[in-house]
Amino acid sequence: MSKIRILSDALASQVAAGEVVERPAAVIRELVENSLDAGAAHVTVEVQRGGTALMRITDDGCGMDREDALLCMERHATSKIRTKEDLAAIATFGFRGEALPSIASVSRFRLATREKEALSGTEIEITGGKLANVKDHGGNQGTIIEVRSLFFNVPARRKFLRTEATEYSHIENQFRTHAIANPKVTFTLIRDGGVAYHLPGAQNVLERIRGLAGDELANRLIEVERLEAQGIAVWGYIGGPGLSRSNRQQQLTFLNGRPIESQPINYGLREGFHTSLMKGQYPVTFLFLEMAAEAFDINVHPAKKEVRFHDGFSIRDVVAKAVKRALETANKLPEGLQSTVTRVPRPALQLRTESNVPTPTQQAFILPAVPLRIPVANPAPRIPFQTTIIEPDQTEPEKYTPQPIPKHEEAPEIKAAPPAKPATPTFRIIGILHRLYVLMESTEGLVLMDQHAAHERVNFEKIRAAMEAGGVPSQRLLMPLMLQTSPRDADILKRNLDTLTRLGIEAEPFGPNTFKIEALPTFLKVDDPLAWLDRVIEELQSLSSKSSAVRLGEDIIVMSACRHSVKANDKLSIPEVQALLEDLFACEMPYCCPHGRPTLIQMSMGELERKFGRAAP
């Protein structure tokens, strides 16, 4: 029986359309969600070359009959929604009926599918959006979708793909998130022919986390017992005190089984963890929210990651309560954790309720800080030897005057403003260590440049200069974006509209708590401007009211400059390093990144000689 309906035009336009396919990981997200929607118990994801050469998703879900298989390739064909009421109450992942046609229009696409009782299945080939072949398919029940040569017909999009390793890591994150949200489903990820993950169906979320991240992490998680209030249920697992991250990458939140990002949840977490987290640290969470479909709107974000709640305050409240309660319980040491937790006596509990004030003899327990196996983005490498930070000359600001670059052996040389005593030291680039530190020879000894920190500094100053010179170049949006905020956030935004304008963001109030965003700074290379703006608001919120508007703007710049700087291990060529050095020395403050970390350090010959025992210490 045919299940798919074509959406009416009116309904279709009610659904926020957007770019579905931003990168290979987005294709994986759509296809895996379809498999889960189809009730699959086994989902296998195969990728080659970071997904750019091949992505193949095989499931044992309900499959499609021939009519549906052909229909699902039409825009706005979906079996999951028919009326406006359906749209409000959507419970499945898909809802817009545009993933498959979008993906097929930019790839060599093959769909093979068979329904359970059907005698034979259907195979469809589409190349760059054109139907190339339809034939019988004799495979098992379920669906196989193959996406080859992504963006083969859209060179402009292909150019924006990052390295295969980067694209793969996005796919991996997507895969892991799905796996956590659906513990009972068996997931397999095959990368370039080798099994990267095989996760047999697990009993529960904790077991799945154990399978993915290992005992080390799983044993250190605290259970958030199910809390139901105000039509919201919250449960899951969180890292206890001592288990935190410097970014949000392991702060996973799910709504009705769907991975989401949401400000009210973030605020709730922050409030719940309160003193248990160091400043600038983010918790590790696997938090599941459940609520009626009418209580939120998932059409906000083309990638369906971001959700708008009708009552964000209650969400924040319930999340905070659930987390607080879990941390309090953990401080009392629940049975289950006894064997894996080290007892560390502390004079007082940080979190307490009236019924839970410890007597002087009671001991509180915290989890030991054990390094985890899960990689943290850009771990700051430690340099195990003593170094001297080159100080800028305090007496007069240094200005770099570009010089013709003299030849010296085969490696290029750069004349730069003096980092230390000599007036015009010559840096000769020796090479790049671990794709991170540029090694240079100076007359003084060895100079190391942190290329990431240097990039941050350069970007920061470029943007700030543009701001001071009458505004950052901005780009009008084809379609204005609508940013909905809480009343409090609306206030913050209104107070900072001027700063935002100088930053290149054109925003104007549009209704009580809505802003129309008509232009964004050109430097901004984010997938999701609305989420970025939410972060900006969050940033503005956390700054004290004393700071001047300029300071606020600057802080935002630092934030985005850093986010859009070269990552620690991007490979630079020697001419790129040279250009970076020149840019760095054209900066007002070349010697530290916007966070105050050094960009350059020097080891003098004397220091080396002492280390090698050539000179007395």
Q: Give the count of residues interacting with ligand ADP (CB under 6 A).
A: 24
Give yes or no for residue 176 binding ligand ADP (CB under 6 A). Answer: no
Give yes or no for residue 30 binding ligand ADP (CB under 6 A). Answer: yes
Give yes or no for residue 38 binding ligand ADP (CB under 6 A). Answer: yes
Tell me how far CA of residue 21 lies from CA of 117, 151, 292, 479, 564, in angstroms: 33, 10, 28, 18, 21
H, E, C per residue of 538-553: HHHHHCCCCCCHHHHH
Give yes or no for residue 64 binding ligand ADP (CB under 6 A). Answer: yes
Residue from 23, 29, 66, 96 binding ligand ADP (CB under 6 A): 96
Give yes or no for residue 21 binding ligand ADP (CB under 6 A). Answer: no
Give yes or no for residue 94 binding ligand ADP (CB under 6 A). Answer: yes
Which does residue 61 bind out of Mg ion, ligand ADP, none, counting CB within 5 to 8 angstroms by kind?
ligand ADP
Give yes or no for residue 97 binding ligand ADP (CB under 6 A). Answer: yes
Q: How far apart are CA 47 and CA 166, in angstroms?
A: 13
What minimum distance in Å lies between the beta carbon of 104 and Mg ion? 13
| Under 8 Å between Cβ of 585 and 400 | yes
Q: Which stretch binds ligand ADP (CB under 6 A): 96-104, 194-202, 241-249, 398-406?
A: 96-104
* Helices assigned H by DSSP within 469-495: 487-495
Tell me which residue has its CB nearest to Mg ion.
94
What minimum distance in Å lies between the beta carbon of 23 and ligand ADP? 17
What minimum distance in Å lies between the beta carbon of 75 and ligand ADP? 9
The two three-digit tokens of residue 257, written as one number: 């089984």
Which does residue 251 bind out of ligand ADP, Mg ion, none, counting CB within 5 to 8 angstroms by kind?
none
Residue from 47, 51, 95, 174 binding ligand ADP (CB under 6 A): 95
Question: Restricting to residues 127-146, which ones interact with ligand ADP according to CB under 6 A?
Answer: 143
Question: Restricting to residues 13-42, which ones interact with Mg ion according to CB under 5 A?
Answer: 34
Which of 318, 251, 598 is CA-nearest to residue 437? 598
For the CA atoms of 29, 34, 37, 43, the dihedral, rounded to the nearest 10 degrees, stands at -80
What minimum distance in Å lies between the beta carbon of 212 and ligand ADP? 23
Closest CB to ligand ADP among residues 78, 253: 78
Closest CB to ligand ADP among residues 34, 107: 34
| Under 8 Å between Cβ of 126 and 73 | yes
Q: Give the count of residues interacting with Mg ion (CB under 5 A).
A: 3
Which does residue 209 bind out of ligand ADP, Mg ion, none, counting CB within 5 to 8 angstroms by kind?
none
- How many C-beta atoms lie closer than 10 Å to residue 9's C-beta? 9
Tell me how far CA of residue 274 lies from CA of 329, 349, 509, in angstroms: 15, 13, 32
For the chain, how many residues are written? 617
Give yes or no for residue 35 binding ligand ADP (CB under 6 A). Answer: yes
Q: Which residues contact 557 (CB under 8 A, 6 or more apart)?
A: 460, 463, 464, 467, 503
The two three-digit tokens of residue 201, written as one number: 């169906």
Q: How far apart are CA 361 and CA 358, in angstroms?
A: 8
H, E, C per residue of 557-575: HHHHHHHCCCCCCCCCCHH
Question: Restricting to residues 65-124, which ones interact with Mg ion according to CB under 5 A?
Answer: 94, 99
Q: What's the CA angle centered on 217, arms 214 and 221, to 5 degrees?
A: 130
Buried b (16+ CB within 10 A) or exposed e, 253-291: bbbbebbbbbbbbbbbbbebbeebbeeeebbbbbbbbeb
Closest CB to ligand ADP among residues 62, 319: 62
Tell me which residue has its CB nearest to ligand ADP.
94
Closest CB to ligand ADP among residues 116, 310: 116
Which does residue 97 bind out of ligand ADP, Mg ion, none, counting CB within 5 to 8 angstroms by kind?
ligand ADP
Amino acid sitting at position 559: M
Residue from 22, 25, 27, 34 binding ligand ADP (CB under 6 A): 34
Closest CB to ligand ADP among residues 63, 283: 63
Interface residues with Mg ion (CB under 5 A)? 34, 94, 99
Which residues here bind ligand ADP, judged by CB under 6 A?
3-4, 30, 34-35, 38, 59, 61-64, 72, 77-80, 94-100, 143
